[in-house]
Structure 1
Amino acid sequence: MAVGGEPGDQGPPHESGGPGHGDLHGRCKAAGGAGIPGSVPPVRHLSATRPPPGPAPPRSSTLRGVLDALTHAENALLGERRPLTRAEVDAVAALSLDHLPDLIALAHRVRLAYCGPEVELESLINAKSGACPEDCAFCSQSARYATEVDVYPFLDLDEVLEAARATRAAGATQFCIVVAVRGPEERLLNRVIDAVKVVQDETGLEVACSLGLLRPEQAQRLAEAGVKRYNHNLEACREVFPRICTTHSYDDRVATARLAIDAGMELCCGGILGMGETLAQRIDFAFELAALEPCEVPINLLDPRPGTPLEDQTVLSPREALQAIALFRLVLPGAWLRLAGGRERVLGELQAMGLLAGANALIVGNYLTTTGRSPEEDHALLDALGMPVADGPGEGRFLVDADGAHARPAQPPRRPTIPVTST
């Protein structure tokens, strides 16, 4: 279902209270990556004049209404230091996009208070590409669709190590090994674990993995091998998920996310925005993620792939994407929110606004099947914003406690930066 109109016109948000956030600072303190530049295809944005069917949610049209909703959210998050309820988030989401700058400013203050100004960098390697048996509607690596994606088995160790060294050279701290499978069979898992050990020994990078659905013993083996963080995205909220995948269930994904935590790994769990969901469903998604208490939440913005069922899906407008990023920050105040695939196409020249709207992590370089931009461009962007690069998981230059983020004076900055404050 294509999304039409401005986000505020996309159906009534729910009124129930949301889940708690557990530890307000998330399950980890820091992490990192790199890649290769390339071109970005032209953008088709959502029409601002084509509302979807169904009733529109109530809007706070007066200045007093705007100030009330935003002030209430700010008092809860920064004054009372408590998570927002669903009704409180809905009140903010109902504001007209004319007030998007006010929402972005609040999300940035929340990010600084809970996480500090650092930005975590990570890169990916598509270590086994294509021929996936699953039918995820957004994915060009599915064997069910006629796409032009490269198909190859798990890379040799020297190729994985070369990519890891490039990641380290680009100033990133985390390297994620990704394979296109439903879940790893024994031989593949053994090869991944071998690669994890080589990368750790040769580069010192923190290694994350994304290998699909896991069994308990597989999660335990990865944790024992030193995998720091496991990525397994929910992709969409429970209500939307059956429209984008039928070969496994939403609950299958939730189960693997919980297995990763139970095994002692940090959880990286997010998804893709712009697959036809409503604004209310985006908020559903944020609260469902918060219930898992992930350390990291990747925010992908759909860049439709030729040959997939979503190839004709109209992409989000930049304003819709920024609104979603800011709302995710309000729901997940202490998580790493990582701008990932699609940011170049959807946000374009407004990528800096994504970092001011609450995001505090980036995937740098190329993605799994699409081209990103150079790490140098992202470093220049961070320097221009005065946002320092995180030194590594648990080793950042800022400590976060109940009173907010505080500089760690004993650890000098990697490069000169303009201080970022919450005022």
Structure 2
Amino acid sequence: MNYFYELAKRAASGHSPDKKEIERILCLPYTETISLLPGTDLIRQTYFGRKVSLCTITNAKSGKCSEDCSFCAQSAHHGCVVDEYPLKKAGELAETGKALRGSGINRFSMVTSGKGLSSHEIQTVGRAVRDLNASGIRTCASLGVLKSVDLDYLKQSGLERYHHNLETAPSLFPRICTTHDFAQRVDTVAYARRAGLSVCSGGVFGIGETDAQVAELAMVLKDLDVDAVPVNFLIPIPGTPLENVPGLTPLRCLKIISILRFLLPDKEIIVCGGRMQNLRDLHPLIFMAGASGIMTGNYLTREGRSLEEDLRLIRDMGLEPA
């Protein structure tokens, strides 16, 4: 019997892989990634059945970000050409979300550029959240580094989930961003949890991390007890410091998802940006690797897949929307 399948059976029953078992996963050559999939598929089915969650985002405030994250086109430090506009009005944000009613999308998220928002901007988002809740739309927001008082206000406004990526392992973070530190991101996640919000936190992969650093990030997310883990695969953007990094292979993408599924067996793993560009013909295998959700529609500065294409993919894989 496949060693990794036996390991997955134990993970599905609550056994956390020990250091030696994790090392065995990490050392597996990418050419043998497929041997992980029967086990990761078992773990996914144990916790999520045949359901796949679908979320989508709107770019609520774009460009001119003061932070220097080396993968991001919206950073003012890099000079990339992107749309630039202030925070949209509450009514416009709410109408965008209301258009999703009956579409099969589970959650609508408002995403803003910048390190964080002002109190006035937080109130605008709060008004949009109240309007969306009244229409039965499940809400999420990604507004940067916030104080606990702001997260408390958003929770009181009816926000269900807060998204705040840690981006990468703490050992790599200083090479990716210098305008704020990893601890600030961890604090924001902790504040969101303390406010009673569901938390979505993951990272960007293909930015120079090793497989050991994928596991390092996973263990931080495990300690923070986040609810969902978004997985973004880098699309190198001209003008950013990472524009020339070597691309990910499809098998490495599948291994990254698999590592996260082994180490975070009961957490929602949502595959987001860069999935088509990096996984190419192996894209449908993300679910067997452990993904329990996908982000559909467009991303912040790049086009994504249509909802119709993603619903067809889910059906073709014998799965169903959550």
Residue 72 of structure 1 deviates from its aligned partner by 4.8
Report the secondary structure of 1:298's partner residue. strand
Q: 1:279 aligns with which of 172, 192, 211?
A: 211
Highest relative contact order (Cα 8 Å, sep 6+), 1 or 2? 1
Counterpart mapping for 1:318-337 below 5 A = 318-337=250-269
1:338 maps to which of 267, 270, 282: 270
In structure 2, the residue matched to 1:385 is 317
Superposed counterparts of 1:28-43, under 5 Å = none
User: Could you report, residue by residue, the CA deviation over 1:298-349 in whole angstroms, capped at 9, with x for unpaired residues?
Assistant: 0000011121111111221000000110111000101110000111110122
Deviation at 1:166, TM superposition (A): 3.1
Task: Look up the match of 2:11.
Answer: 77
Residue among 336, 342, 361 paired with 2:293:
361
- Give yes or no for contact 2:250–2:278 (8 Å, CA) kept in 1: yes
Secondary structure of 2:101's aligned partner: helix
User: Is residue 196 from structure 1 mapped to residue 129 from structure 2 by the alignment?
Assistant: yes
Contact 2:138/2:160 (<8 A) preserved: yes
CA distance in 2 between counterparts of 1:168 and 1:330 reads: 34
- What is the rounded CA distance, in whole Å, between the counterparts of 2:162 and 2:69 in structure 1? 20
- 1:83-139 superposed Cα distances (whole Å, 9 cap, x missing partner): 222321211222233432220111000111122221110110110001111111111
2:212 is matched by which residue type in structure 1? A
SS of 1:188 mapped into structure 2:
helix
Structure ranking higher in helix proportion = 2
Amino acid at match of 2:293: A
- Provide the residue aligned with 1:420 in structure 2: none
Please give the TM-score of this superposition, normalised by the length of structure 2.
Answer: 0.96
Q: Runs in 1 of length 4+ with deviation above 4 angstroms?
A: none
Matches within 5 A, 1:154-193: 154-193=87-126
Q: Which runs of 5+ in 2 are unaligned?
A: none
Once the two structures are superposed, what CA deviation does each residue of 1:208-256 show, in whole Å capped at 9, x if it has no partner? 1111111111111011111101001000000000001011110000000
* Residue 47 of structure 2 is aligned to residue 119 of structure 1: no
Matches within 5 A, 1:130-279: 130-202=63-135, 204-279=136-211
The answer as to whether partners of 2:168 and 2:217 remain within 8 angstroms in 1 is yes
Q: CA RMSD in A?
A: 1.4
Equivalence for 1:103: 36
Partner Cα separation in structure 1 for residue 266 and residue 9 of structure 2: 16
Q: Distance in 2 between matches of 1:383 and 1:336?
A: 19
Is residue 2:219 matched to residue 1:291? no
Letter in 2 for 1:223: K
Taking the TM superposition and a 5 Å limit, the aligned residue runs for 1:376-415 are 376-390=308-322
Contiguous gaps of at least 5 residues in structure 1: 1-63, 391-423
2:233 & 2:313 partners in 1: Cα distance? 19
Figure out how many residues of one structure are paired with residues of the other and give that number.
322
Distance 1:166 1:127 in 2: 15
Q: Percent identity?
A: 36
Q: Which amino acid aligns with 1:229?
A: R
CA contact (8 A) 1:210 1:230 kept: yes
Q: Deviation per CA, 1:51-82, whole angstroms, max 9, x where unpaired?
A: xxxxxxxxxxxxx9xx44x1552342135x22
